[in-house]
C-alpha cells in the first residue's frame, strides 16, 4: 500500500483473491499443485522470526515504493513480516512473494 493505492493477495483454503484499492479484482481456485508449492515455500520461512527480517531498502518511507508485508496464519496464530518495499522484499521472502505475484498475472 501507499497513499491512494493498495493491493492485497489473500489465500484461504482453496481460493486466492486479489484486491486493488479494496475492490476484488480476481478470484482463483487453487489447484493441489499450487497449494503444495505455496506450502513448500512457507515451510522454508522461519515464521517465529519473520517479523525480524531486514528489508534491503526502505523507499516506502518516503513513498518511493509501496509498503508491503507478508502475513501467515497458521493454527490460529498470525505471523507478520516487518514492512518492506513491495519490489524489494527480504531475501528470505523473495521466492514466496515472486510466486504469489505470478499467480495474479
38 falls in which pLDDT band (50, 70, 90)?
very high
Torsion angle of C-alpha atoms 20, 21, 22, 28, degrees rounded to 10: 0
DSSP state of 55: P
Cα separation, 84 vs 65, whole angstroms? 9
62 falls in which pLDDT band (50, 70, 90)?
confident
> Does 2 score more than 70 pLDDT?
no
> Residue 45: its pLDDT value, please?
97
Instruction: Quote the pTM value.
Output: 0.90
**Which residue is listed with cell 523473495?**
94
Name the nearest CA neighbour of 73 among 1, 28, 13.
13
Q: What is the mean pLDDT of residues 52-56?
A: 96
Where are the domains positioned within the chain? 7-104
5 falls in which pLDDT band (50, 70, 90)?
confident
Percent of the chain clearing pLDDT 90 (strictly above): 77
Amino acid at each position: 500500500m501507499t497513499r491512494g493505492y493498495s493491493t492485497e493477495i489473500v489465500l484461504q483454503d482453496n481460493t486466492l483473491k486479489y484486491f486493488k484499492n479494496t475492490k476484488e479484482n480476481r478470484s482463483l481456485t487453487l489447484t493441489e499443485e499450487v497449494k503444495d508449492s505455496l506450502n513448500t515455500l512457507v515451510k522454508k520461512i522461519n515464521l517465529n522470526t519473520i517479523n525480524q527480517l531486514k528489508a534491503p531498502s526502505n523507499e516506502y518511507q518516503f513513498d518511493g515504493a509501496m509498503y508491503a508485508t507478508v502475513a501467515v496464519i497458521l493454527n490460529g496464530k498470525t505471523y507478520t513480516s516487518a514492512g518492506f518495499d513491495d519490489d524489494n522484499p527480504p531475501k528470505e521472502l523473495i521466492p514466496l512473494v515472486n510466486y504469489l505475484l505470478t499467480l495474479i498475472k
